Amino acid sequence: MKSLLSFTKKELLEQLRSGKILLVGILFTVFGIMNPAIAKLTPWLLETLKDSLAESGMSVTEITVTAMDSWVQFFKNIPMGLIAFILIQCSIFTKEYSSGTLVLALTKGLPRVQVVVAKATVLMALWSVGYWLCFGITYAYNAYYWDNSIAQNLLFSTLCWWIFGGFIICLITLFSTCFRSTSGVLLGIGGTVFALYLLGLLPKVSRFVPTALTDGTSLIYGVKKSEDFLPALIITAAIGFFTLFVGASVFNKKRL
Amino acid sequence: MDMLHISDLHKRFGDREVLRGLNLSVPEHSIYGFIGKNGSGKTTTMKTVLGLLKGDSGKITVNGERVVYGQTATNRLIGYLPDVPEFYSFMTASEFLRFCGEITGMKRKESETRIEELLSLVGLGCEPHRIKGFSRGMKQRLGIAQALLNRPKLLICDEPTSALDPVGRKEILDILLAVREQTTVLFSTHVLSDVERICTDVAFLKDGVTDMQGRLSEIKTKYRGKDYRLETETDSELRLITQAFPHVTIGEGNRATFCESDYTVSDVLHFVADRGIGILKIERLEPTLEDLFMEVTGR
Ligand SMILES: Nc1ncnc2c1ncn2[C@@H]1O[C@H](COP(=O)(O)OP(=O)(O)OP(=O)(O)O)[C@@H](O)[C@H]1O
Ligand SMILES: [Mg+2]
């Protein structure tokens, strides 16, 4: 137990000293500001383009921006935040394989499962801090300019997206224990998400696929109800824990 | 009881069989020299003992406990210095040792004093920089410190002196000698003078098996040659001997060597006594480890 704590501490120190914590912080802050900013700037942008648009036969009617537009931006931009997060963190295991730094810790009797648990925990913590920071900033701006209450299921829809991020972290862990190279990890994640996306196109199973959790826009407009997300939530959590379990067992037998 | 026992260990990489039924027993409180030429499988053997590699067949026990691959419980008894130790470069030396202490479950206070003691022992006592900037020798020293940290029962060092300057080499050998009271040391090396200096036991690795192993003194006795060396006071006296015994080979100074298969010692000594030749020295030649190494590796 003490060793788990100390390895987690080491991970955090590494994230801090390599500047990754700062990077993630800046990244999600920027995204958090961008969402309301884009919404706020849209009318102004249309206004300046009005003449040229009119020339091409489009008429611009007066539009009013609400918090809704900002939240739509949130769900549009957060995938990019997650992708950037993956790119920053995908080498969290593979770097240790290629440098051989795990050898000393493991030959000192550190249980292998604790390596997996510590790394997954630190990733999840970092993702959570970044994600909710982004959410908080957007929420605060929206409350200042407009009114957040017009978005339905706001907390639930953002919670679903956060859980989808957790699912991706489970995938990072799984593929990091299977592959030695960072490109292997990225290909594994990309391939899985793409396969899930294709699966989601089938009407019969779309409700059960983890990627369904990313459809926050339908939730805040009330097009879908929170109950509709329940199957995907349960299945995502189940697959997530299963991949962690498989990852830990693969890692137990991994040659370092 | 043996601290480490390996029996009939096999290991192949692809179509290359590196270990072919290796047997090794390391008695408690010995300093065991593990000798073999480049690529003979020393590192492979050590990694298998640590559960970092999976042997194809064979049995390894540490302190009577069976070694398993992967999650290796016996590692709590072992201190390991890899051939090229790799550390978290964003830490300082003392931060790294503290991290190691926490992992092995040492008490905070105990580890603090131990870390200070070890850092000054290996000469990194006042090194405030991060490991990123360490030289190879400094890493090697830190590697030895971390291996000794929790007073392991078995210390496994893969070429501990390879990156060190002559002073550092002597310091490390002295450290290994000093810890013999509390632990058993197994170390691999090419440097035969190191072995001669501190080892109590040796094993030569060749073609995937240990060719010769046991107490260093016993091995030397067993392979003691039948050669004698004789040194006389003057040149002319030496010439008298070579005239009487033509197969004697003359060396530098007033020395000559002969083999017991040519002339018995008593014949030569009778001759010396009869003629009243003044001799300074007559000795039976000890084989050097180098001779043994050459004999074993067949070069
Ligand atoms: N991971 C591996 N894959 C394939 N072959 C390997 C691997 N590790 C070692 N070998 C082979 O096994 C043989 C023994 O290697 P090992 O590192 O054990 O030698 P060594 O005795 O430690 O040599 P040195 O004195 O140079 O350190 C070498 O021929 C090497 O090519
Ligand atoms: Mg080696």
Same domain, B196 and B251: no
The pLDDT of B5-20, averaged and rounded, is 92
User: How many Å apart are CA A17 and CA A10, to the nearest integer?
Assistant: 10
In a domain, A170, yes or no: yes
Q: Which residues pair with B159 in a beta bridge?
A: none
Q: State the helix-helix crossing angle for B136-148 and B166-178, rounded to 10 degrees.
A: 10
Which ligand has an atom closest to residue B82 CA? 2
Reply yes or no on whether the pLDDT at A58 is more than 80. no
Residue nearest to atom 29 of ligand 1 (CA): B39
In a domain, B298, yes or no: no
Same domain, B168 and B56: yes
Measure A17 CA to ligand 1 centroid, in angstroms: 35
Reply yes or no on whether the pLDDT at A17 is more than 60. yes
Query: What pLDDT is recorded for position B298?
Result: 65
Reply yes or no on whether the pLDDT at A172 is more than 60. yes
CA dihedral B249, B250, B255, B260 (to 10 degrees): 10
Domain range for B263: 227-290
Supply the CATH number for residue B107's domain. 3.40.50.300
B33 Rama class: left (phi>0) / alpha (psi -120 to 50) / beta? beta
Mean pLDDT in chain B? 87
In a domain, A197, yes or no: yes
Residue B103 to residue A99, Cβ atoms within 8 A? no
Verify whether ligand 1 is closer than 6 Å to residue B15 (CB atom): no
Q: How many domains does chain B have?
A: 2
The pLDDT of B40-61, averaged and rounded, is 93
User: How many Å apart are CA B223 and CA B3, to the nearest integer?
Assistant: 27
Verify whether ligand 1 is closer than 6 Å to residue B39 (CB atom): yes
Reply yes or no on whether the pLDDT at A60 is more than 70. no
Same domain, B212 and B244: no
Query: What pLDDT is recorded for position B225?
Result: 66
The pLDDT of B124-145, averaged and rounded, is 89
User: How many Å apart are CA A104 and CA B147, to the nearest integer?
Assistant: 9
Query: What pLDDT is recorded for position B217?
Result: 82
The pLDDT of A27-54, averaged and rounded, is 85
Residue A107 to residue B71, Cβ atoms within 8 A? no
In a domain, B296, yes or no: no
Reply yes or no on whether the pLDDT at A67 is more than 60. yes
Among A residues 80-109, those touching chain B with beta carbons less than 8 Å apart: 99-101, 103-109
pLDDT interval class at A197 (50, 70, 90)? very high
Same domain, B46 and B156: yes
User: How many Å apart are CA A124 and CA A162, to the nearest integer?
Assistant: 10
Query: What pLDDT is recorded for position B299?
Result: 53
Query: What pLDDT is recorded for position B196?
Result: 84
Reply yes or no on whether the pLDDT at B243 is more than 90. no
Where is B25: in which H helix or E strand? strand B16-27
Lowest mean pLDDT among A4-18, B95-109, B270-284: B270-284
Verify whether ligand 1 is closer than 6 Å to residue B139 (CB atom): no
- The residue from B175, B200, B222 where one domain ends is B222
- The residue from B172, B191, B222 where one domain ends is B222
Residue nearest to atom 1 of ligand 1 (CA): B13
Closest CA in chain B for residue A110: B103
Verify whether ligand 1 is closer than 6 Å to residue B55 (CB atom): no
In a domain, B186, yes or no: yes
Domain range for A236: 2-33+76-253
Helix, strand and coil content of chain A, in percent to the nearest 5, comes to 80, 0, 20
The pLDDT of B257-284, averaged and rounded, is 83
Q: How many domains does chain A have?
A: 1
User: How many Å apart are CA B130 and CA B145, to the nearest integer?
Assistant: 16
Considering only residues B55 and B223, tell me which one the structure prediction assigns the higher pLDDT. Answer: B55
pLDDT tens figures, A199-209: 999 988 888 99
ipTM score of complex:
0.87
Considering only residues B257 and B111, tell me which one the structure prediction assigns the higher pLDDT. Answer: B111
Reply yes or no on whether the pLDDT at B163 is more than 90. no
